[in-house]
């Protein structure tokens, strides 16, 4: 029988001893969507800013894998902080059967900490590109006062955002939270580090950061190798109903 998540399913955000969420902080997250843009952008931004790991997410359907990065044990869902920015780095997608609970509980936690703005990163199918702009955005109603600083057009009517990012945007809209979905045009079917670099250039500009974009492009081959490895792991384990 397939696992079905409910509101009683276990979900816990664990902060390391002494770690605190700054007041009026920015929250940034990107999932494994089209072109892996959201995850690549978030993970690379946290790494290049030398963000400190401050916590983890534990859930009933936590992937049964860990890894090593810079001689440190890496877990599937981790929280990092750099100055006034908090990152959620999800190295796997939340399991399909618990996505509603996972995202709902995450939205509750985000709302509880009253982030000043919430940035959700993702990819948009490049086949829909009709002008010279490299990205589109999807703001919640509460984000409207901040939208001008991005100088990015809103997603055209008739196009849809899908997956955990869409669900998180919906949950945050219902909670009247200031969230922005930022989507760069990406190639379907493979990791697109160039699209992620475009995302980082815009974030650098708006937030006054200095994340190394060239390094992301240089790492593209390694990124694609790791992505193939991740997909292979998920494919092998799909028969046991562990991943989607």
Q: Give residue-wise pLDDT tens across range 65-82.
A: 888 888 888 899 999 999
pTM for this prediction: 0.85
Q: Provide the domain limits for residue 20.
A: 11-240
Out of 8-17, 38-47, 49-58, which region has the weakest mean confidence (pLDDT)? Answer: 8-17
**What pLDDT is recorded for position 15?**
95
What is the distance between the alpha carbons of residues 133 and 129, in angstroms, rounded to a whole number? 8
Q: From the centroid of its chain, how far is CA 149?
A: 21
What is the distance between the alpha carbons of residues 77 and 68, in angstroms, rounded to a whole number? 14
1 lies in a domain?
A: no
Identify the CATH number of the domain in which residue 109 sits. Answer: 3.40.50.10900
Number of domains in the chain: 1
Counts of helices then strands in the chain (DSSP H, E): 6, 10
Tell whether the model's pLDDT for residue 6 goes beyond 50.
no
Tell whether the model's pLDDT for residue 147 goes beyond 60.
yes
**What pLDDT is recorded for position 230?**
66
45 lies in a domain?
A: yes
Cα-based angle 41, 45, 48 (whole degrees, multiple of 5): 135
More confident residue, 112 or 228: 112
- Token output for 58: 């534990």
91 lies in a domain?
A: yes
What is the distance between the alpha carbons of residues 115 and 179, in angstroms, rounded to a whole number? 9
112 lies in a domain?
A: yes
pLDDT tier for residue 170 given thresholds of 50, 70 and 90: very high
105-121 residue pLDDT tens: 999 999 999 999 999 99
**What pLDDT is recorded for position 223?**
65
What is the distance between the alpha carbons of residues 37 and 95, in angstroms, rounded to a whole number? 19
pLDDT tier for residue 235 given thresholds of 50, 70 and 90: low
175 lies in a domain?
A: yes
More confident residue, 233 or 180: 180
| 90: β partners | 77
More confident residue, 237 or 160: 160
176 lies in a domain?
A: yes
Q: From the centroid of its chain, how far is CA 61?
A: 18
Task: Give the DSSP H or E segment for 213.
Answer: helix 213-218
Out of 3-7, 64-68, 194-198, which region has the weakest mean confidence (pLDDT)? Answer: 3-7
Tell whether the model's pLDDT for residue 207 goes beyond 90.
yes
The DSSP annotation for 72-112 comes to: EEE-SEEEEEETTEEEEEESSPPPGGGHHHHHHHHHHHHHH
**What pLDDT is recorded for position 114?**
94
What is the distance between the alpha carbons of residues 202 and 106, in angstroms, rounded to a whole number? 25
- % of the chain at pLDDT higher than 90: 55
193 lies in a domain?
A: yes
52-67 residue pLDDT tens: 999 999 988 888 888 8
- Strand ranges in the chain using DSSP code E only, listed in sequence order: 11-15, 26-30, 52-59, 67-69, 72-74, 77-82, 85-90, 117-125, 135-139, 179-186
Tell which phi-psi region holds residue 173, choosing left (phi > 0), alpha (psi between -120 and 50) or beta. Answer: alpha
**What pLDDT is recorded for position 237?**
56
6 lies in a domain?
A: no
């Amino acid at each position: 029988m397939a696992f079905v998540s409910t509101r009683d399913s276990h979900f816990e955000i664990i902060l390391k001893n002494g770690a605190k969420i700054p007041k009026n902080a920015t929250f940034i997250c990107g999932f494994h969507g089209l072109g892996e843009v959201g995850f690549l952008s978030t993970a690379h931004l946290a790494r290049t800013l030398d963000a400190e790991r401050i916590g983890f997410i534990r859930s009933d359907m936590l992937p049964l894998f860990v890894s090593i990065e810079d001689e440190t044990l890496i877990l599937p869902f981790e929280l990092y902080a750099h100055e006034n920015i908090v990152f959620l780095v999800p190295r796997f997608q939340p399991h399909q059967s618990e996505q509603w609970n996972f995202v709902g509980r995450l939205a509750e936690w985000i709302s509880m900490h009253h982030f000043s703005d919430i940035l959700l990163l993702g990819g948009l199918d490049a086949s829909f590109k009709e002008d010279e702009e490299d990205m589109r955005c999807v703001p919640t109603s509460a984000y409207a006062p901040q939208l001008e600083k991005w100088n990015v057009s809103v997603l055209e009517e008739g196009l849809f955002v899908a997956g955990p990012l869409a669900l998180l945007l919906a949950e945050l809209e219902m909670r009247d939270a200031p969230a922005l979905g930022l989507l760069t045009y990406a190639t379907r079917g493979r990791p697109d580090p160039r699209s992620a670099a475009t995302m980082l250039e815009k974030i650098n500009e708006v937030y006054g950061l200095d994340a190394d974009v060239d390094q992301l492009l240089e790492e593209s081959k390694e990124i694609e190798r790791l992505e193939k490895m991740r997909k292979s792991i998920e494919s092998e384990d799909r028969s046991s109903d562990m991943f989607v």
